[in-house]
A = this chain, B = another copy of it.
Amino acid sequence: MKAAVIHAPHDLRIDDIAPAVMGPGDVTVRVRVGGICGSDLHYFHHGGFGTIRIREAMILGHEIAGTVESVGANVTNVKPGDTVAVNPSLPCGHCRYCLAGQSHHCLDMRFYGSAMRFPHVQGGFREVLVCDASQAIPTSMAPDRAAFAEPLSVCLHAARQAGPLLGARVLITGAGPIGALCAMVARHAGAREIIATDLLDGPLAVMKRVAADEVFNTRENPTALEKYQADKGTFDVAFECSGAGPALVAALAVVRPGATIVQVGLGGDVTLPMNTVVAKEINLRGTFRFHEEFAWAVRFLETGALDVAPLLTEIVPLADAVRAFELATDRAKAMKVQLAF
């Protein structure tokens, strides 16, 4: 069968791979679609991010949905023919973090398409995937929508780091797919006002359409946020989704004392005015992946509580994977790009 395999920066190939063997607790899924994520793009362009680099060929992909083809003898939660959203996380279930309700910090996590451990955990951009039954979440919605469950989970988890959002005034910096989903989640969680910034008009237009009350292009209008600095700041919560240092520094200036800034985007080292963090008693928190939020995401998508259709730019056949990755890289044109298998 075919899979999208990264061999080196800009060396993405459609390789033939051997099928996996299904155990009694496993499910065989015919993959229908797979969304391209920012980390897939980092592997594609740079071979990794931060200190993590690919050291062997690795199948990419962790935003996967498909149809159950067959199930192992012990599987009861899904049956052949079911559409499933595939949770890319497989925690060990017995380390100190798993037993503390924090399995996303599992000391022996297997997460699809990640080079964090070696041998790497192969990803889901392949025609057929064998996963643990716990990873297959049945759903009544179409696979192209179900494939949004993973990035939506990330944003639901991020929202929980912010505490209650009911009534909150929220800033979102970075209007890519994660920024847009964070804005939608903030709206869904009862935020009173949502303001978004980016350096490009394209994503901001989508942001305006799906969730934001007002958007600002801070490249064209660098002082747009100044009015929010009055009386020591305005926003109760900020989601920093760009991974860019200047966006975080800008957020520090416009949140109110005691506000929470959730750092969602990955970037690298950032130089922060710590005296502002101190004087305004800012609460700066990281957010990493997700846990029970995957099931919530499936439900919220299924019921239409969150409508992600405006975020889907194009579904590209696997054969054109390189074009799909290039399209996904062009933030002016693309929000979410999916591969079809």
Contact = CB atoms under 8 A, between A and B. Distances in A.
> Which size class do A's interface residues fall under?
35 or more
A288 B189 CA distance: 22
A226 to B, nearest CB: 17
Contacts of A156: 166-167
Nearest to A299: B192
A277 to B, nearest CB: 4
B99 A99 contact: yes
A274 interface: yes
A11 interface: no
Contacts of A267: 274-275
Interface string A89-116: 0000110111111110101000000000
A304 interface: no
Interface in A233-283: 243, 245, 248, 257-258, 263-264, 266-283
B274 A281 contact: no
A237 to B, nearest CB: 12
Interface string A145-164: 00000000000100111011
A210 to B, nearest CB: 15
A232 interface: yes
A192 B301 CA distance: 11
B266 A275 contact: yes
A105 B102 CA distance: 17
Given A107-B231, A263-B277, A272-B269, A286 B282 contact: yes
Interface string A207-245: 000000000000000000000000110000000000101
A293 interface: yes
SS class of chain A's interface: helix, strand, loop or mixed?
mixed
Contacts of A166: 156, 159-160, 165, 185, 188-189, 296
A113 to B, nearest CB: 16
Contact of A231 (B96, B101, B283, B288): B96
Contacts of A271: 269-272
Nearest to A271: B271
A326 to B, nearest CB: 25
Contact of A288 (B94, B163, B278, B300): B278
Nearest to A107: B231
Interface string A46-89: 00011000000000000000000000000000000000000000
A109 to B, nearest CB: 11
19 contacts: A94-B94, A100-B101, A102-B258, A105-B232, A107-B232, A160-B166, A160-B167, A164-B165, A165-B166, A167-B293, A167-B296, A243-B274, A257-B288, A263-B274, A269-B271, A271-B272, A277-B284, A277-B285, A281-B285
Given A190-B190, A268-B275, A277-B285, 19 more contacts: A94-B94, A98-B99, A99-B99, A99-B103, A102-B258, A107-B231, A165-B166, A165-B189, A166-B296, A192-B299, A243-B274, A245-B274, A267-B274, A268-B274, A269-B273, A269-B274, A276-B286, A278-B286, A283-B285
